[in-house]
Structure 1
Amino acid sequence: EVTAVCDSNRNNLDRFVNGPWKWAGWLPESSEFVRRHKPDHRIKKIYTDYNEAAEDRTIDAVSICLPDVFHPSAAVAMLGQKKHVLIEKPMAGSVQGCVEIISAARAANVKLQVAHMWRFHPEIKFIKQAVDSGKLGKIVKTKGYAVYIRSAPSGWFLQKKYAVGGALLSVGIHAIDTARYFLNDPAARSVYAKVDTVYGDYDIDDFAVVVVEFSNGTVSIIESGQNHPYADGPEACTQLFGTKGYARVFPSEVQYKIGGRWGCFKPDRQEPHIYPKMFQDEVDHFVDCILHDKEPVVDGETAMENVRIVEAAYRSSREGKLIKLG
């Protein structure tokens, strides 16, 4: 059985009821959701406290989509009751929070997956195959973007007491994860960043430029923010510069030499940037890992490295220096 621990995003409910498993219940963020959606026949039970859901022994797995500040406490509560957990990114607002979640998952011997959904986009997979084939040679540099153009999220995302960080932690982490996915998830060696609030009246960051040197020698430039007048690409747009070729996702293409001449290759079918099926595929993968004892494509350790980079970026900006991570 599956239950979602979420806010009032109706799409999260739809993703979990569209699968070969039994739906157990829903834990909304607010009573407003209860008032509007309780008549829905698909919702068999509504919890008002995640601890109540954690103690329900009829539930095998949960999806945690709460404000970021609650991720560690909610995840540890669920894992402590031996429930498999799919948790929204960022996994936690700090490395320490990630460590607590990973330790609880190991102790319970259950599956822990973090929802970095761009890895399930077909065009991301297209570029990943090109990188893995060696056609681009060694990747020496990447550029990635996660910027809201002339817009920003609303609600708790703009309140540091709930979001923990700002745009860098909320969406910049997508650009970081996408780059690491293309590079086979290397650890960061050093981080230098400038993070600031320049576009709005709130206590979270809306501007960040981050330079990461990875353990494999690749250097990645990450830009994140909100309310910017322009950006070089949409969320998770990434460029890869190799010794033999070039690739870009959104719009997606690969360039390399064949027979001494440069060619440009694109996916047979270009999907929408916000590809709805990637969210469903992410949930399907989580359930498949549970049913067939597989390791999730984004496990706790992989996601923690993303948070470690973000944490180092905030520190670098505060202290005005390069942060060496090992």
Structure 2
Amino acid sequence: MSGNIRFAIHGGGYIAKIHAAAIAATDGATLAAVAGRSGSASELATLANVPWLDGEEGLVAAAGRGEFDVAVLCTPNTMHAPVGLRLLDAGVHLLIEKPMTTSYADAKSLADRARANALHAATAHMWRVDQEATWLRDQVAAGAIGAVYRSRGCGVHTGWGPSGWFTEAKLAGGGAVTDMGIHAIDTLRFVLGEPKALAVSARTARRFISGDVEDTASIRIDWEGGTWSEVEAGWWQPYADGPESSLRLYGEGGTATLFPTAVVQGAETDKEQTLPGPLVTKADHCDPSIYAAQIAHMVAVINGAPSLLDECGPAAVAIMEAAYRSAASGKTEAVPS
């Protein structure tokens, strides 16, 4: 595709502003419009000096007129699927804030429609374009710690949590698992080499907030091949094992961590050796450089490069959905595929 890739943002909240700044910072990308019914969306359009589109109808109409190439969906989670399907049928690519959808059936529908229309339905699992996560993935793939037999992921906010629609089930579809746990789930899949999830067991609770979603969760994922991962998700927690999407991997020949990032070979032996990962300074939350890298990746993908973000959305949602089923049933639940 010749010329800049034109992005339109649906929504005007905190994450929409992060994406707008990332688009402005990325060569080959331009912000063409902002859509939404809220005052924040029109304010963002004014701030960015781009047209404001009147909600979903305005966005879909502009897509049909060929006014942009990619829609960035920053709306409440339960809106992603219906709007996304309409936009794919109008001929534009998608970059969807996580989780891709609130059900595996909806995620699969979006992915299938995108393939049928020769378009991309990417999910904003931005750690897939992070330098440290990519380094660790490559180390694991090269066998730096041997076969990984178990792992842990952390998706926890300590001392704070989101408000507004994030705490309303009818809009968010869930709580800390859909907001934070989904990041840890996908980052584990990425670093471990995209293993197939077979089953999930989970417990959830609401301890710190007054909404109707969970703020605390523990999830165990059983992968094909007999390995497993444990994920902690939470808001307003008094403690976390590490920063957002931090990981710990246990291999037959060593251990590895993400944030801080390192590989330790021959741990607890006289041959112990530490390989430090790249040192990248990041903000504690929503680091601008990662979001700019994600937009740059989308530009490259639309110009023909392979996508890191197309297939991950449905797989993460399948695990998330199984976790909620397990928390409700008290049983281990199979992961759909």
Asked whether the two chains share a fold, i.e. TM above 0.5, the reply is yes
Could you report, residue by residue, the CA deviation over 1:255-314 in whole angstroms, capped at 9, with x for unpaired residues? 0039961111213524225442111000110111111x2331021x32111111111111
Q: Which residue number corresponds to residue 48 of structure 1? A: 54
Q: Which residue number corresponds to residue 39 of structure 2? A: 31
Write the distance in 2 (CA, Å) between the matches of 1:37 and 1:81.
Answer: 24
Give yes or no for the alignment of 1:3 onto 2:38.
no
Residues 1:319 and 1:112: Cα distance change in structure 2 (over 3 Å): same
Write the distance in 2 (CA, Å) between the matches of 1:133 and 1:158.
Answer: 41
Write the distance in 2 (CA, Å) between the matches of 1:191 and 1:27.
Answer: 37
Is the deviation greater in 89-98 or in 127-136? 127-136
SS for the counterpart of 1:233 is: coil
Q: CA deviation at 1:48?
A: 1.5
Residues 1:279 and 1:38: Cα distance change in structure 2 (over 3 Å): closer
SS for the counterpart of 1:220 is: strand
**Which one-letter code corresponds to 1:315 in the other structure?**
R
Q: Which runs of 4+ in 1 moved over 3 A?
A: 36-40, 257-260
Conservation of the 8 A alpha-carbon contact between 2:18 and 2:291: no
Conservation of the 8 A alpha-carbon contact between 1:6 and 1:12: no
Give yes or no for the alignment of 1:284 onto 2:303.
no
Is the deviation greater in 109-118 or in 263-272? 263-272
Give yes or no for the alignment of 1:146 onto 2:155.
yes
Q: Which residue number corresponds to residue 28 of structure 2? A: 20
Give yes or no for the alignment of 1:64 onto 2:73.
yes
Q: CA deviation at 1:140?
A: 0.3
Is the deviation greater in 219-228 or in 208-217? 208-217
Write the distance in 1 (CA, Å) between the matches of 2:170 and 2:320.
Answer: 17
Q: Percent identity?
A: 28
Query: Which runs of structure 2 are paired with 1:1-326 in the superposition (5 Å)?
Result: 1-9=6-14, 10-18=17-25, 19-28=27-36, 30-34=38-42, 36-40=43-47, 42-56=48-62, 57=65, 58-257=67-266, 261-272=271-282, 274=285, 275-291=287-303, 293-299=304-310, 301-325=311-335
Q: CA deviation at 1:210?
A: 0.6
Normalising to structure 2: TM-score of the pair?
0.90
Write the distance in 2 (CA, Å) between the matches of 1:218 and 1:143.
Answer: 11
Could you report, residue by residue, the CA deviation over 1:159-199 in whole angstroms, capped at 9, with x for unpaired residues? 11110111011110001001111111112111111112122
SS for the counterpart of 1:264 is: strand
**Which one-letter code corresponds to 2:295 in the other structure?**
V
Is the deviation greater in 238-247 or in 46-55? 46-55
Residues 1:6 and 1:157: Cα distance change in structure 2 (over 3 Å): same
**Which one-letter code corresponds to 1:314 in the other structure?**
Y
Q: CA deviation at 1:70?
A: 0.4
Any unmatched runs of 5+ in structure 1? none
**Which one-letter code corresponds to 1:224 in the other structure?**
A
Is the deviation greater in 18-27 or in 66-75? 18-27
SS for the counterpart of 1:321 is: coil
**Which one-letter code corresponds to 1:62 in the other structure?**
A
How many pairs align?
322
Q: CA deviation at 1:320?
A: 0.9
Conservation of the 8 A alpha-carbon contact between 2:41 and 2:52: no
Normalising to structure 1: TM-score of the pair?
0.93
Write the distance in 1 (CA, Å) between the matches of 2:195 and 2:263.
Answer: 22
**Which one-letter code corresponds to 1:235 in the other structure?**
E
SS for the counterpart of 2:272 is: strand
SS for the counterpart of 1:165 is: coil
Write the distance in 1 (CA, Å) between the matches of 2:124 and 2:238.
Answer: 28
Any unmatched runs of 5+ in structure 2? 1-5
SS for the counterpart of 2:53 is: coil
Write the distance in 1 (CA, Å) between the matches of 2:112 and 2:134.
Answer: 30
